[in-house]
Amino acid sequence: KSDCSVFVADEAAMVMFGQQIAHATSGGEVIFLNGDLGMGKTTLSRGVLKGFGHQGSVKSPTYTLVEPYELGEVTVFHFDLYRLGDPEELEYLGIRDYFTDQSICLIEWPERGEGVLPPADLLLNITVEQRGRRINWQAQTEKGRQLADKLII
Ligand code: ADP
Ligand code: MG
């Protein structure tokens, strides 16, 4: 299922879905997290990091734009581009070096980096549904399809 959706009832379920995403990766994925403020993008990212064995807290890299997490074989880069003024600023961060076969890139507010970010393997969009959230996802590449095929819903 490369184009799919799931209802996520609460924060704990959001973290679990993030863990599932972590377990479905093979390395090198670029994942765009779309959705308004408060939709749960950082919560989902926390789940992905937990899935890779991260124990500590996860802060929103709103001011630093990106936070790296070295977790065994992989490095997860968690981006929050909400405060990015101009996509060109990403060039100064040297972001091209972040997108390797050993890294997983989770990107909140990817539209702010349009033109400079590489294309996403997987697009996720989070919206409110009842008291929880609905996550829609879409694979954009073969790598993204392989990831999406492993998501159990
Ligand atoms: P964002 O990064 O998209 O701005 P956050 O991850 O900071 O959003 O989450 C905002 C709020 O939404 C938090 O209080 C979190 O507990 C809550 N939340 C996350 N996922 C869900 C969910 N599936 N259902 C209900 N509330 C959720
Ligand atoms: Mg956030």
- Please state the ipTM of this predicted complex: 0.99
What's the confidence (pLDDT) of residue 149? 95
Among residues 20, 13, 30, 8, the alpha carbon closest in space to that of 133 is found at 8
pLDDT, position 96: 85
Phi/psi-derived region of residue 68, left when phi > 0, alpha when psi is between -120 and 50, beta in every other case: beta
- CB-based burial label for 13 (10 Å; 0-12, 13-18, 19+): middle
Reading the block at residue 21, the tokens are 């995403």
- The sign of the CA dihedral 30, 93, 83, 40 is positive
By the 8 A CB rule, do 23 and 43 touch?
no
Encode the chain (153 residues) as per-residue pLDDT tens digits: 566 999 999 999 999 999 999 999 999 999 999 999 999 999 999 999 999 999 999 999 988 999 999 999 999 999 999 999 999 999 988 888 999 999 999 999 999 999 999 999 999 999 999 999 999 999 999 999 999 999 977
pLDDT of 1 reads 56
Q: Which helix (H) or strand (E) is 32 found in, with range?
A: strand 30-34
Ligand 1 centre and the CA of 142: distance in Å?
A: 29
Residues in Cβ contact with 88 at an 8 Å cutoff, skipping those fewer than 6 apart: 116
Structural domains in the chain, sorted by start: 3-149 (3.40.50.300)
Q: Whose CA is nearest to atom 21 of ligand 1?
A: 11
Q: Whose alpha carbon is nearest atom 16 of ligand 1?
A: 11
